[in-house]
Structure formats: structure tokens, C-alpha cells
Amino acid sequence: MNEQNQWQILKKVLLRVRRHLWKIAASLVLATGYVAMSLRIPILVGQAVDQTVGPGNVDFAAVAAILSRILLCAALGAVSQWLMQEMNNRTVYRVTQQIREEAFRHLQRLPLSYLDSHPQGDIVSRVVADVDSFADGLLMGFTQFFTGVTTILGTLGLMLAIRWQIALVVVGITPVSLLVAKFIAQRTYDLFREQTATQGAQTALINETVGGLKTVQAFSHEEATLADFDKINTRLEKSALKAIFYSSITNPSTRFVNALVYAGVGLTGALSAMTGGITVGNLTSFLSYANQYTKPFNEISGVVAELQNSLACAGRVFQLIEAPAMDPDPAEPARPEKFTGGVEIRDLEFSYTPEKPLIRDFSLSVRPGQRVAIVGPTGCGKTTFINLLMRFYDPQGGRILLDGVDTQTMSRRALRRSVGMVLQDTWLQSGTVAENIAMGKPEATRAEIVAAAKQAHAHGFIRRLPQGYDTPIGESGGALSQGQKQLLCIARVMLCLPPMLFLDEATSSIDTRTELQVQRAFDAMMAGRTSFIVAHRLSTIREADIILVMKDGQIIEQGRHEELLRKGGFYFELYNSQFAH
């Protein structure tokens, strides 16, 4: 990103910080109080020095009074600094909380096309690690920038008041420190941006590997995975070393300039003191102010380097937040007067990428209550068709009508509450078994949950769990088998009983005996409900009212099981290939 983009990111940050103006104002007031106390102490020290005229000529009473004032200023400064940091912490972590909520909320509105084209680990890295890095940089910026700028202005004013000729020496050397900081800042931003992007790629690989570790080990793919990790890790090492190198030379460079300032003040101040132009006490105060004046440049230079990393991380988070959301629902969504499950599809066209058409000229009419099976080779568009019916994707052409109402004129919530889905890939959330079953109907009673589990033939194994329906399970399902997890997903739909059902290889992980039991439960559940069944095992769809045979995104055959076998076409070949000896 160029400098203009940095300013754009900073502007977005400031727009979110603007909601906490009173806290920032309070922090500025406290920073001013802290700096005022810090600047008052050198004056008091100088006065104490001037009370020490020579050996045996010390006004101890005056020195004691000055020391008590120094202690009071130190105490007030410490309290002001603590309160300022408290305000800054509240501001920064409230801002990062809002950004995380904004990112996670927007994540729910992103189309599946975005999630399918971005690694899950990279998205997690943006919401978690990048926001943490952004918070660290912003907190350092608030804490050190406020006090730094106030200290610079305060010390400069006091130095001009004490001896403006010496103060000009300080002001004359200051631009060198600013040029050094600018030189380093221009080089660190791109390096930190590369570092955070590589961290996201590394997190994605780790997430992918941990999620599929069984598969990695089963195919002895450990060495190849390690090689991929080493490649990314080496790239991260190189980018991190470069970023850290440039950011780490900030402090030594500005310290060198500060040493020049201090030496210049000491030399000109000593010459002035020798001629009586300044007292020794004032020179002591001046040297202290010169040191306090240059110190914030070190801190601000460090803040600038840290802000480069912070802005790079914030840029990645804002990229997620500003990614185009799915098309909004209509302002006044249409809704069928009574949802019966009639489906009509007219000239449907869809492709994931423009250069590879998938579904073309797809038309279909399904009466309410019909059971429709969809079969075909892998990649022919079966699951894509279900995704289009659910509006996980929108077609590029054609229309899908439910009871005569175009699905694109309906709200997604109303559409999806009318449909139950059981997929081949199971998904469970962290919670109890009962909470997972009741996901679509949180208000369900325990009796309803148990009845649904019995219908899905999941009650037996649930009862054998340590705490039964109150047994906690993780997002991966814990010690549950794949078949048991799928039974829980089936029970989840059994509990809701929506007017339409989509079953995508719903019994693929269940043993044959249990499958027969679940199939009977499905038969009872599908009675009077429009159902779409995607299946590879053709033995499970013999009783379907309509079997759609898909190939290359088009329906090439349709009819009942016996009709399609008599035709001797593509379905006949598929069926015989599964049962040939």
C-alpha cells in the first residue's frame, strides 16, 4: 500500500475512535497534568542547586521545602499517568472490541463465494491476531504520542524562557531526528504489511493441517506438509527480520541525534554560565529539559515504527470488513401465502467462474410433496443446485420460484426457515448435545429434543454418553464418530420439521442397519413434504417420485426408477456400475 492508503486506513481508524472523544479529551488533560508535573520538577531541582552556594553555605530549610514540593509533583504526576493509561486502555480496547464485532458481524453477511476463495485460517488471523497487533500499536500511540507532543511543546517553551539562545541550538538540530524517523517509517510499512500477510498464510496452513491431521497422517503426507510449513516459515522469518531491523534502528538513530543535542546544550550552556549569562541551577534545569525534549522523539519514532505494523494489520481487517456483502434482501420481501413446497425452475444458468459454465438451461417443475432425487457423476452440479435453491449462491440467469414466488424477492431468513438441510459434511458447535439438536429451535423442550433424537435413531448412543443430552461436545464433535455426528444433524432437522427438505448424502456415514432405520424415519418425515435428495448410492432413491439425472450441469434424463432403467440410458449405466459383480 502506498502512503495515501496509509492515510485512508488511519482515517478509518480515527472515525471509529471518534466515538470516544470524551475519553480522549480526558486523556489529553491527564497527559498535560503529567507533563506539567514532570516539567515542574527540573525547575525545583535547579532552585535546590542554587541554594547550594558553596561548602558550608547551604540553605537546608529551603532545600527541604523544595524536596517536599518535588515529592508532591512526582506523586501527582504518577496519579495523572495512571489515570491517563486507564483512559487509553478503555478507549483502545473498546475500539478493538467494536472492530472485532464489526468484522464478525460482516462475516455473517459475506457470500459463500468469498469464504470459498479465502483460507479459513487467514480469516481467523485477521479477526484475532491482526486486531491484537492493531490494539498494541494504537495503545502505544495514544500513551506515548499524547505525552510526547505535550512534553516537546512544554520543554521548548521553558527552554526559550530560560535562555532562548541555547534553545535555538536544540531547535536547530531537531529536524535531523525527524528526517531519520521519516526515512525509517517509509521503509517499515511495506515490510510489516508483508509480515502480517505471511502470518495469515501460516495460520491458514496450520488451521488446515490441524483440521485434516488424520488425512495427512493416513496418506503419509507429513513430510510434504512440513516442507510447505518450512517454506512459509522461512518467508515469515525473512520478512520479520527485515521489518524488525528497520524498526530497531529507529531508537539508536534518534538517540545519536539526541546525544548531539545534549552535547550542544552542555557546551553552549557552560560557556554562558562562565560569562554569567545563566546560573548553574538554571543550566541544570536546561540540561534536564534538553533531555526531556529529545526523549519523546525516541518514543515517537518507536510509535511510528509500531504504527506501521498496526496500520498494516488494520488494513487487512478493513479489507475483510469492506469485502462486498451478499445482495441485501428486498425492502418489502415477498412471501407465499401458504408455503406448500411447489418448486419451478426456469432456464437456470450458473457458474463459479465465467470461463467454466456449470449449470445451463436448467428447467424443472416439482409439485408440492414430491420426492425428487438428483444423481450424476461428481462435479455435475448436484450440490450446486441445492446451493442455488437455498440462495447460498445467486444464479447468473433464470429464475427459481417457490409456490410461484421468485426466491430473489424473498428474504433469505424466511426461505431458509422453510427448508431443512442435512449435509454430507457435518457441523456441530461447542455446546451440549441437546443444544446442538435444538439449534434450529432453541425454545424446544427436552421432551421434543428427545423425541427428535429417537426419530433419528440417535437416542441410544446419546443415552450412553457420560452426561446424556447434557454432555458437552466441541466443534469437531469430540469423541463422536462421523456417523453419530451425522445422526445429531438429522435429529436437528427432525426437531424443526420444515415444509421442504434437502438431503445431500445425508446417510453417507451411517452403517447399513442404522441407515435402514433412519431411512424409515426419513420416509415418515418426507411424507407430504417436498424433498430433494442428492445421493451417490442409487439404492437409496428407488422410491423417489422423480429422479433427475444430471451431467455437465444439465438434466439429461428424468423419470421414476423403473422408467429410467427401461430406457437403458445414462442412469442405467450408473445403476449397473454400482451393482455389477
Domains defined along the chain, listed by start: 3-321 (1.20.1560.10), 331-418+500-513+526-581 (3.40.50.300), 427-497 (3.40.50.300)
Residue bearing the bigger pLDDT, 178 or 9: 9
- Measured over the CA atoms of residue 534, residue 536, residue 538 and residue 539, the dihedral's sign is negative
Q: pLDDT at position 218, please?
A: 67
For the chain, report the end-to-end CA distance as a whole number of angstroms.
Answer: 62
Which amino acid type is present at position 529? R
Q: How far apart are CA 32 and CA 34, in angstroms?
A: 5
Residue 510 has pLDDT above 70, yes or no: no
Residue 353 β-bridge partners: 356
pLDDT per residue over 275-307, tens digit each? 666 776 777 777 777 777 767 766 666 677 677
Question: Would you tell me the crossing angle of helices 280-321 and 131-211 to the nearest 10 degrees?
Answer: 40
Q: C-alpha distances in angstroms, 554 versus 126, 241, 360? A: 39, 54, 6
Q: Which residue has the higher pLDDT, 129 or 146?
A: 129
pLDDT surpasses 80 at 345: yes
Each residue of 229-285: pLDDT tens digit? Answer: 888 888 888 888 887 777 777 667 767 777 777 777 777 777 776 766 677 677 777
Residue 539: pLDDT band (50, 70, 90) is low
The confidence band for 79, taking pLDDT boundaries of 50, 70 and 90, is: very high
pLDDT tens profile 176-215: 766 776 676 666 767 777 887 788 788 878 877 876 776 6
Cβ contact 315:5 at 8 Å: yes
β-bridge partners, 546: 372
At 301 the pLDDT is 64
Query: Can you tell me the mean pLDDT for 483-505?
Result: 82
What is the band of 581 on the pLDDT scale with cuts at 50, 70, 90?
very low
Local structure of 355: helix, strand or coil: coil
Q: Tell me what percent of the residues of the chain surpass a pLDDT of 70.
A: 87
Q: 189: which residues sit within 8 A by CB, 6+ positions away?
A: 1, 6, 308, 311, 312
Q: How far apart (Å, rounded) are the C-alpha atoms in residues 387 and 496?
A: 20
C-alpha cell at 539: 439404492
Interatomic CA distance for residues 23 and 410, integer angstroms: 44
Average pLDDT (28-44) is: 82
> What pLDDT score does 2 carry?
44
Q: Which of 20-34, 67-81, 525-539 has the lowest mean pLDDT?
A: 525-539
- For residue range 410-462, list pLDDT tens digits in order: 888 888 888 888 777 777 878 888 988 888 888 888 999 999 888 888 888 88
What is the per-residue pLDDT for 55? 63
The yes-or-no verdict on residue 1 having pLDDT over 50 is no
Instruction: Name the residue with higher pLDDT: 290 or 23.
Output: 23
Q: 506: Cβ–Cβ under 8 A, 6 or more apart, which residues?
A: 422, 423, 424, 486, 489, 490, 522, 533
> Hey, which residues does 305 pair with through a beta bridge?
none
Virtual torsion, Cα 123, 126, 129, 131, nearest 10 deg: -150
What are the grid coordinates assigned to 503, written together?
438431503
Distance between alpha carbon 485 and the CA centroid of its chain, in Å? 27
The phi, psi pair for 394, rounded to 5°, reads -105, 140
C-alpha–C-alpha distance, residues 546 and 558, integer Å: 7
